[in-house]
């Protein structure tokens, strides 16, 4: 081999330098490409495991629908049933009784008969015994003669607060038109073995207008015939048969 001339050596070095320069440029370009394209790939991998905004909206909508369906099912499960009731109308407001025909069918039928024949129209709440009862009916009304036979005793429920039971004499089968709204729990006193060996038949419960009941019960009274009779008796202006949710 012959020695390179000075000119040839310079040409060879230029070629080597150019090669190195190109390699460096290629490495730099690859580094830049990785820098910009690498996160995109990572981001794309993340997209595969995390929902996009669209997917989040769809998932949220699906969850909302599922929740709504669940609520509908729960509402359906909690759907109320209807029960017979009567609304007693007074000048100062109304009181609603939910009836218990499954407990005292004869008593409830008697009550409804007094309504449909308008027998209780013009009768009143006339007796108020604090912590005991508010009694109503046609007591002391000369034009009100009970036209039907007394009803047999149907004692099944204790006389708890807000319950309504039939008043009667010492004869357990003597109830007619008088009724008592319990102002307290009188289960023991008005149950069998309490003040009476037979008990008093519950046939309804106050489900609306309790504030009016309490207001009537605090009215001024006087002693009459061994009873605390209201000086101002709330008159029953009308009674209607209806239904309530239970």
* pLDDT in 10s for each residue of the chain, 246 residues: 555 566 766 776 777 777 777 877 888 787 777 777 765 544 444 444 455 555 555 555 555 555 566 665 555 556 779 999 999 999 999 999 999 999 999 999 999 999 999 999 999 999 999 999 999 999 877 678 888 999 999 999 999 999 999 999 999 999 999 999 999 999 999 999 888 889 999 999 999 999 999 999 999 999 998 899 999 999 999 999 999 998
CA 65 – CA 59 distance, rounded (Å): 10
Helix (H) or strand (E) segment spanning residue 11 = helix 6-49
Spatial contact of 128 and 217, defined as CB atoms under 8 Å apart: yes
- C-alpha 238/C-alpha 119 separation (Å) is 10
Query: Helix or strand or coil: residue 206?
Result: strand
Residue 158 backbone class (left: φ over 0; alpha: ψ -120 to 50; beta: rest): beta
Tokens at 113, concatenated: 């008969």
């Amino acid at each position: 081999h012959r020695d390179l001339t000075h000119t040839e050596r310079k040409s060879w070095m230029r070629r080597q330098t150019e090669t190195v320069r190109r390699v460096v440029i290629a490495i730099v370009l690859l580094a830049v490409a990785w820098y910009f394209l690498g996160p995109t790939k990572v981001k794309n991998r993340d997209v595969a495991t995390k929902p996009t905004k669209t997917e989040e909206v769809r998932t949220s909508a699906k969850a909302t629908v599922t929740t709504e369906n669940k609520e509908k099912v729960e509402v359906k499960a909690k759907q109320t049933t209807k029960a017979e009731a009567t609304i007693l109308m007074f000048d100062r407001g109304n009181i609603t009784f939910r009836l218990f025909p499954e407990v005292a069918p004869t008593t409830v039928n008697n009550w409804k008969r007094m309504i449909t024949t308008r027998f209780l129209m013009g009768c009143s709440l006339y007796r108020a015994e604090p912590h005991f009862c508010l009694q109503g009916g046609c007591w002391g009304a000369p034009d009100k003669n009970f036209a039907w036979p007394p009803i047999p005793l149907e004692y099944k429920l204790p006389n708890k607060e807000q319950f309504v039971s039939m008043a009667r004499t010492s004869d357990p089968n003597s109830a007619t038109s008088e009724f008592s709204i319990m102002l307290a729990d009188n289960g023991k006193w008005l149950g069998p073995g309490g003040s009476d060996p037979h008990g008093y038949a519950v046939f309804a419960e106050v489900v609306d207008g309790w504030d009016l009941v309490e207001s009537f019960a605090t009215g001024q009274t006087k002693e009459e015939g061994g009873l605390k009779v209201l000086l101002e008796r709330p008159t029953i202006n009308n009674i209607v048969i209806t239904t309530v949710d239970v």
